[in-house]
């Protein structure tokens, strides 16, 4: 097997999944081809639509094939009317985090010149930070609580472990070093917590400090999560990499997507020691599915994150170069301000955006 061969499992899922995944795969393929990569894609079925037809949301065979790939490229799953018997939405992608142990939820927030940010400050053009959301434990690890029968009280448990926190923090420091971010907030890892109120968060902060001491070349800081939300609006250009607890990361990520201009702009990755899933932050957008209106930018940028991950993991700079090429093509497509996705009030549909990025990629 060539060192530049990578197997990628593609899960288009539901809603707008099919219509934005296919063209995004073509762009990832082209960026890879230019860098001399041998990318092999296999499309697999899973999601609410499949569940409605067959009673199975994620066939075990497809799961095993996805788990055997070098990376998983997923759009979104779930449809409002398709539910499990207990009333919860069919979203088998959530199980991937647990089953594949994807503890680091990477949510970059970068403004794109040419795309308006809701912040009027001109410095908003330089927003470039990453939330690293712990995704396997914390408050969301126990969604059912322990006392659903109780008439008076309801509770959930916020539990974090040193093993996972240590890995998450290490990941954050490594990421800060690799990013080579410029500007005021550069080379900074900020632990976002609630150490003043919750003892588990106080412990996590101590563990963070111990990991920070092993990365003296990167600046380390703490911020309370409420103040962090304030700072993300007041001067987000001062932020760089922010590891945080599961639920805090969930909430702050939506705020971050809004800073980027819209749901269709925000990419993400869920990364573990052995597996990784790359998908846009948005859902299946059933209200606009099949109309050619969906913004494929987040899906394309998630593909760039995937190329960068593959290159970093296999120590193949060519794949990281392909990631940079694809990201630059997206930026170039938006730079003059004429490309404006429909969700941002413009008239550029899926095809217009894909074609614009394709043209920049072609030279
Ligand atoms: P989930 O629970 O999976 O997050 P959701 O219903 O909360 O799903 P989305 O499916 O992301 O959220 O849709 C929220 C809104 O954003 C919808 O109006 C949808 O049309 C819009 N939206 C989401 N993704 C895109 C996109 N890529 N392009 C354009 N509009 C989008
Ligand atoms: Mg949502």
Domains in the chain, CATH or no CATH each: 1-106+266-363 (3.40.718.10), 117-260 (3.40.718.10)
The interface pTM score, or ipTM, of the predicted complex is: 0.95
17, 90, 253, 285: which to mutate for ligand 1, most atoms within 8 A of CB? 285
- Could you read off the pLDDT of 58-99 as tens digits, one per residue? 999 999 999 999 999 999 999 999 999 988 899 999 889 999
* Residues, the chain: 363
> What's 44's DSSP letter?
-
Q: Give the residue ranges of DSSP H helices in the chain.
A: 17-34, 48-54, 60-68, 93-99, 162-179, 199-212, 225-234, 246-259, 297-314, 317-335, 350-362
> What per-residue confidence (pLDDT) applies to 146?
59
> What per-residue confidence (pLDDT) applies to 3?
84
| 284 C-alpha to ligand 2 centroid (Å) | 9
DSSP helix, strand, coil percent of the chain (3-state; round to 5): 45, 20, 35
| 95 C-alpha to ligand 2 centroid (Å) | 16
| 286 C-alpha to ligand 1 centroid (Å) | 8
> What per-residue confidence (pLDDT) applies to 189?
98
Distances (CA, A) of 278 to 93, 97, 259, 298, 363: 11, 11, 20, 10, 26
Name 39's Cβ contacts closer than 8 Å, sequence gap at least 6: 5, 6, 8, 28, 29, 32, 33
- Paired residues of 134 in beta bridges: 104
CA dist 244 and 250 (Å) reads 9
Q: What is the mean pLDDT of each run of 10 residues along the chain (363 residues)?
A: 92 98 98 98 98 97 98 97 92 92 97 91 93 94 67 85 98 94 90 97 98 98 98 96 97 94 94 97 96 98 98 96 98 96 96 98 91
> What per-residue confidence (pLDDT) applies to 145?
65
* Residue for token pair 């403004």: 111
Kindly state the tokens that stand for 336: 């003059």
Q: Which of 49, 42, 44 is nearest to 16 (CA)?
A: 49
93, 283, 294: which to mutate for ligand 1, most atoms within 8 A of CB? 283
């Amino acid at each position: 097997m060539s060192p530049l061969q990578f197997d990628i499992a593609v899960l288009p899922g539901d809603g707008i999944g099919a219509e934005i995944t296919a063209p995004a795969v073509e762009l990832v393929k082209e960026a890879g081809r230019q860098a001399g990569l041998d990318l092999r894609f296999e499309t697999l079925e899973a999601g609410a639509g499949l569940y409605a037809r067959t009673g199975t949301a994620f066939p075990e065979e497809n799961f095993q094939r996805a788990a055997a790939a070098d990376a998983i490229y997923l759009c979104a799953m779930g449809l409002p009317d398709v539910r499990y018997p207990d009333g919860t939405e069919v979203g088998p992608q959530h199980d991937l985090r647990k089953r594949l142990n994807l503890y680091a939820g990477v949510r970059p927030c970068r403004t794109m010149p040419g795309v308006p940010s809701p912040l009027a400050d001109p410095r908003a053009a330089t927003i470039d930070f990453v939330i690293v959301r712990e995704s396997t434990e914390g408050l969301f690890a126990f969604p059912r609580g322990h006392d659903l029968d109780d008439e008076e009280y309801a509770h959930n448990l916020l539990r974090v472990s040193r093993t996972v926190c240590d890995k998450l923090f290490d990941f954050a420091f490594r990421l800060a070093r690799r990013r080579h971010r410029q500007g005021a907030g550069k080379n900074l890892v900020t632990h976002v917590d609630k150490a003043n109120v919750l003892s588990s968060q106080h412990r996590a902060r101590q563990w963070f400090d111990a990991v920070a001491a092993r990365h003296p070349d990167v600046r380390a800081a703490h911020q309370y999560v409420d103040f962090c939300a304030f700072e993300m609006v007041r001067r987000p250009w001062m932020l760089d990499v922010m590891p945080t607890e599961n639920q805090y990361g969930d909430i702050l990520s939506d705020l971050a997507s809004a800073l980027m201009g819209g749901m269709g702009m925000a990419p993400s990755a869920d990364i573990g020691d052995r597996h990784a899933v790359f998908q846009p932050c948005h859902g299946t957008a059933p209200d606009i599915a099949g109309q050619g209106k969906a913004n494929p930018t987040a899906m394309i940028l998630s593909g760039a994150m995937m190329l960068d991950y593959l290159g970093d993991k296999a120590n193949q700079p060519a794949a990281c170069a392909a990631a940079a090429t694809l990201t630059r093509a997206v930026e170039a497509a938006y730079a003059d301000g004429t490309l404006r996705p429909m969700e941002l009030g413009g008239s550029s549909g899926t095809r217009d955006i894909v074609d614009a990025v394709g043209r920049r990629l072609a030279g």
